Amino acid sequence: MSASAISATVCRAAGAAAVLCSAIGMLVPSAWAEEPYFQGNTITINVAGTAGGLFDLMTRTMADFYGRYLPGNPAIVVKDQPGGGGLVAGNSLYNVAPKDGTVLAYVGPIAMDPLLNPGSGRAKFDAQKFTWIGSLGTSHSVLVIWSASPIKTAADLFTKETIVAGTGAGATTDFYPKVLNDVLGTKFKLITGYQGSKETYLAIERGEAYGRFNSWDALKSTNSSWLTEKKAHVILQAAFNRHPELPDVPNVLDFAKTDEQRQTLRFMVAPSEMRPIAGPPGIPAGRAAALRGAFAKMVKDPEYLAEAKKRSIDTAQPMTGEELDAAVKAIYRTPKAIVDRVAAAMH
């Protein structure tokens, strides 16, 4: 019996005890109130990536479990919406998607694009106004390099031209090389415009690029043969801390010589510390609470965690919707001088 039915039954038994009926109604969790809406409905989660990439794999894993925690247990479907390193999905979610909770998106690390490109018109959203549902974990970026290329170590990045493949302006594939060239003096050459991860991998195998910035678990889950067959190797990390599985691979922060450089690099990697699921602005409060609450339960589900591990997805340090919202707002409190420095490096 649903929560609403239980409440109605108790109230009828109470007869004229209206006060008791009212009190019971107040005790029914707000998420249950959304059951009539979600039941029999379908929630679509768009993915800012292509089929076979990590964004796609993570979202489809989420979709297998998310519905069971939502009131009414709606069906969950996943659709890929690549382009612009996440900007296509973000723009669509903000401006086109219905504001009723039936469309969400894995938007990728696009949160600070409007901050860095004010007036450009390419990011048609205010990142602080999305309904942030939660983060699936912490992304750990690495630079993977094809072994046959002339780039062998992180030291080579400062002395040799390093050709890397990118997927668009809002993606770390493009963002990191530009900022590192400006802040640290590396010699990256970016070839961008590939539709998604799969296309960049093929480009590297064809010799069009030496490598690309990638999340560590994406590399393991979608291209593990590169590592096991020693076709490629990781020479640099771009995160707040070194990954436990890569203790000997240098991190970008290791090369910072000043506090300004260190603060700039931390700002650079901050959005990639999130794996964000968002909804459009304006979702009714009760429905948003139900979506966030279901997400918070799902990321603790032992079955979900086991399935993610089987698929080589790193689920460490997930965030609730409230925590993710606070993290995005913190990015927007970065000192203007740091933002301007990064923005200038990108153009």
Final residue of a structural domain among 270, 299, 325: 270
Final residue of a structural domain among 270, 304, 331: 270
- What tokens appear for 272 in the block? 């990639």
Whether 229 and 257 map to the same domain: the answer is yes
Whether 121 and 239 map to the same domain: the answer is no
Q: Residue 251 has what DSSP assignment?
A: B
Whether 108 and 154 map to the same domain: the answer is no
Instruction: For residue 191, give its domain range.
Output: 141-270
Final residue of a structural domain among 213, 241, 270: 270
Question: What does the pLDDT look like over 183-231, one tens digit per residue?
Answer: 999 999 999 999 888 899 999 999 999 999 999 988 998 899 999 999 9
Whether 180 and 301 map to the same domain: the answer is no
Question: What does the pLDDT look like over 80-108, one tens digit per residue?
Answer: 999 888 899 999 999 999 999 999 999 98
Whether 166 and 198 map to the same domain: the answer is yes
Range with the poorest average pLDDT among 7-21, 206-220, 317-331: 7-21
Q: What is the CATH number of the domain that holds 132?
A: 3.40.190.150
Q: Structurally, how many domains does the chain consist of?
A: 3
Q: Give exposure, 183-194, as e/b (b: 16+ Cβ within 10 Å).
A: bbebbbebebeb
* Total-model pTM: 0.76
Residue 21 main-chain phi, psi, to 5 deg: -60, -45
d(CA 205, CA 220): 16
Segment 316-332 mean pLDDT = 94
Whether 117 and 43 map to the same domain: the answer is yes
Compute the chain's Rg from CA coordinates.
22
Whether 24 and 93 map to the same domain: the answer is no
Asked if pLDDT for residue 4 goes beyond 80, the answer is no
Question: What does the pLDDT look like over 257-305, one tens digit per residue?
Answer: 999 999 999 999 988 789 999 999 999 999 999 999 999 999 999 999 9
Whether 71 and 176 map to the same domain: the answer is no
Whether 281 and 239 map to the same domain: the answer is no
Whether 266 and 278 map to the same domain: the answer is no
d(CA 268, CA 282): 29
Whether 296 and 335 map to the same domain: the answer is yes
Hey, what amino acid is at 293? Answer: G
Q: Can you give the pLDDT at residue 33?
A: 63
Whether 134 and 145 map to the same domain: the answer is no
What value does the mean pLDDT of the chain take? 89
